[in-house]
Chains A and B, each alone.
Chain A
Amino acid sequence: MKKATMLALGASAAMLALSGCGAGSDGNASQGGGSDSGQASSKPAVKLTLEDRLLETSTDGSVIAHRQMIDEFKKENPNVEISEESLQDATYKTKIKTLAAGNDLPDVFELLGSDAKMFSDNKLILPLDDIMNQAPDWKKGFIPSTLNDFTVDGKLVGAPMQMLSTSLIFYNKDIFDKAGIAEFPKTWKEFTDAIQTLKAKGYIPISLGNKDKWVAESCILSELGDRFTGTDWFDSIKDRKGAKFTDRPFVDSLAALQELSKIGAFNADMNSIDNNQQRASYYNGKAAMFFEGDWAISSLSSEAPQEIKDQTHLAILPTADGGAGKANVVSGGAAWAFAINANLKGDKLQAAIDLVKKLTGEEEANVAAENNAVAATVPTDYDKSKVVPLFNEYLEMFKSLELSPIYDGQLSPAIIETMNNGLQDLLIQRVTPEQLAKDIQSTYEGT
């Protein structure tokens, strides 16, 4: 066994060196696509590099499920050696782009929706259409909208790894009751009134941790924007069919966000704490609400004290007066997918496909569901008793919801960078909604 591993190491190191130069041509015994591998000990050993955000310490149900799948894959495929590097979200986003610039991407990696077009234009990722068509069972499992999120110029560039809603409001019913707010506000006016009431009672109405700059955009503006502009506007932006960021409805949505900060909805240190820290003041009962995606359900269930957990319920943003968007829309989508390096060939490619299949198959969906997370594929069979009440509440609510695009899941990195930076300024009244809209528009025109 030991000797075999050594040999395998040597062989795979040579292969790695080859593919590292962009010439991965280990021409021996290429398997015909689609077939399931598994207990094949006769095959030569394969070494795969994997780069992801699946930290061992995470309490996010989706991460827990993916980690379990990787462990199982290793057990089932002893001939495949996976060298994995897991990074924190912000670090990962930077690193993967840096690797892409050097044409040095790992064999399998997590792909952010907004990077998809750039990576695909540079021919760095393998289109998955043919592979998926040969494995209809796999393809059938996906929720169709998640596949759309990763279709770039007609090609499928990644296997979606989850189904997110990024803009849920987690609120403390007990605090709302104490402030005399009987039910969660249904209109914008009621919402701002409620915030002022909460503020007057000495609570932080909305705990916000926007140091990493994506929270205000991904978890608030993506949905708030849609309330004003409607999803058609976004489609027009994305396809460059005439819509502008300076259009009135979008500017209004920025103004609405700024209004929230003007009436003191957020904590004063919102730009110097991050999204994990924003939950802290909610956990200790100082804050009445926070905005985050459904990944926070499982984190909250394992981190928050019981009395906070019991009082926590979910809501989405109320309607905006005169906005073009629908009220039952939440910003959501796959946001992240597993992608395969375009340079892979032969056994390595087959192993990579098997790994991605394992990571996005129905088995993963079932484990994710038991850990209070929604995978990109439909769960078929899972133990409902393991699920926390808040997750059931989410699934119940989700049935009546439609999805709108997540801004940083779909727009190009340059636009998002300008928007994210600008939102920090907007929240502290350093820039007007009109000016910020102009900035975003000029970045949009420059790309």
Chain B
Amino acid sequence: MGKKLPNPKWITIYGFLFPGIVIYLFIVMIPLALSIHFSFYKWSGGLSKDFIGLHNYSQLIRDAKFWFSFRNNMIVTVLSIIGQLGIAFVLAVILQAKWVKFREFHRTVLFLPVVLPAVVVGFIWNLIYSQDYGILNGVLKGLHLQSWIRPWLDDPKIVIYSVTVPIVWQWIGLYLIIFMASIQSIPAEVYEGAEIDGATGFKKVVYITLPMMYDTLRVAIMLCISGNMKIFDNIFVMTGGGPGNSSTVMAQYAYNTSFGKFQLGYGSAISIGMIILSLGLILLSRRLMGGRTVES
């Protein structure tokens, strides 16, 4: 640490940043600008485009299907915050306990789904939910709970919950790792002090662990919201947004509009709407979670 930090010239800094910026420019900024541009047109591909100003947006605001798909996004997001973060937190606390054996092994197994491609996860869960051959219905039959058997991916009332379960399952591992790292950085003295004061396991979690990792939790919630606002692949593989529109999320709706109906202008407007709503939600969550002072 005694060494002086290097003090590079501006040209060096920008030189190293350049490749990253170029890539970012081409895969994010330019497509985004193009989307904004296209959203002012009625366009079905090809050469002819009609400029229609804000018409696409006024249509979007009145589009019940868009708001329905936004509602689906919200369901997935809320369940994910509760499911992913909740389960990950509980597991993280348990894995920190002294009596847990094979800590690394558990961590790896729980993390495994994170590295699986969404398509694989989708297919696995399609098999699990399968009407005749699915393991879920098989287990229910084995437990003599035949009455619980549902057409999991065909009943419009439950399909959005059915497709959320794999999403929750897949991402628990990621938050588990984040939370474990955060918990490990809490100084041991704090716990020792609490133990002397007579705090038991549960109280330690509520009064020490939770407040001490509040910042991590905030970041995790933000990641969770942004991840679920753009969710697409899992649901696309499992149901394609069906039956009808029952499990259609915003990204799927934009996809259907752009590449199914081939209304590329309106599809772009939907994507821009998605960005605005996601940003709004993230800002809202940051406002609600506020500064770092909690019940001290």
Contacts and interface: CB of A to CB of B under 8 A. Distances in A.
B261 A417 contact: yes
B17 interface: no
Contact of A414 (B45, B153, B238, B261): B261
B216 interface: no
A100 to B, nearest CB: 5
A272 to B, nearest CB: 4
A443 to B, nearest CB: 8
A290 to B, nearest CB: 15
B151 interface: yes
A76 to B, nearest CB: 35
Interface centre among A211, A272, A281, A427 (most CB of B within 10 A): A272
B64 to A, nearest CB: 11
Given A272-B239, A424-B242, A417 B44 contact: no
Contacts of A418: 261
Interface stretch (A5-13, A33-41, A149-157, A262-270): A262-270
A213 B240 contact: yes
Interface string B220-253: 0000000000000000001110111110000000
Contacts of B263: 414
A211 B244 contact: no
A271 B242 contact: yes
A421 B131 CA distance: 22
Contacts of B196: none
A152 B130 CA distance: 43
B6 interface: no
Contact of B243 (A94, A101, A425): A425
Interface string A340-379: 0000000000000000000000000000000000000000
A269 B244 contact: no
A425 B132 CA distance: 22
B151 A98 contact: no
B158 to A, nearest CB: 12
Interface string A210-247: 01110000000000000000000000000000000000
A438 interface: no
B48 interface: yes
Interface string B120-164: 000000100111100000000000000000011111100000000
Contacts of A422: 244
A396 interface: no
Contacts, number: 99
A428 B154 contact: yes
Contact of B259 (A97, A212, A425): A97
Contacts of A102: 45
A211 B45 contact: no
B262 interface: yes
Contacts of B153: 269, 271-272
Contacts of A427: 243
Contact of B261 (A103, A121, A413, A428): A413
B264 interface: yes
Given A94-B259, A212-B240, A413-B262, A267 B156 contact: no
A86 interface: no
A430 interface: yes
A124 interface: yes
Contact of B154 (A97, A100, A271, A417): A271
B151 A272 contact: yes
A123 B47 CA distance: 9
Contacts of B244: 421-422, 424-425, 428, 430-431
Contacts of A119: 46
B262 A118 contact: yes
A25 interface: no
Contacts of A98: 259
B45 A272 contact: no
Nearest to A426: B244
Contacts of B262: 97, 101, 118, 413-414
Given A413-B260, A417-B260, A424-B243, A97 B151 contact: no
Contacts of A187: none
A211 B131 contact: no
Contacts of A97: 45, 259, 262
A122 interface: yes
Contacts of A268: 131, 151, 154
B256 interface: yes
B256 A417 contact: yes
Nearest to A94: B259
A421 B245 contact: yes
Among A103, A212, A269, A281, the one with the most B-chain Cβ atoms within 10 Å of its Cβ is A269
A430 B243 contact: yes
Contacts of B126: 272
Contact of B46 (A94, A118, A270, A425): A118
Contacts of B155: 428
Interface string A102-122: 110000000000000011011
Q: Please indicate which of the listed interface residues A417, A418, A424 has the most CB atoms of chain B within 10 Å of its own CB.
A: A424
Given A98-B259, A121-B46, A421 B242 contact: yes
Contacts of A281: 132
A349 B251 CA distance: 39
B45 A101 contact: yes
Contacts of A211: 239-240, 242
Given A272-B239, A281-B132, A414-B261, A103 B156 contact: no
A94 to B, nearest CB: 5
Given A268-B154, A272-B154, A118 B239 contact: no
B148 to A, nearest CB: 14
Interface of B: 44-48, 126, 129-132, 151-156, 238-240, 242-246, 256, 259-264
18 contacts: A101-B264, A102-B45, A118-B44, A211-B239, A213-B240, A213-B242, A268-B131, A268-B154, A269-B131, A271-B153, A271-B243, A272-B131, A272-B242, A425-B244, A427-B243, A428-B154, A428-B156, A428-B244
Given A212-B240, A272-B238, 5 more contacts: A121-B46, A269-B132, A272-B131, A425-B245, A428-B154
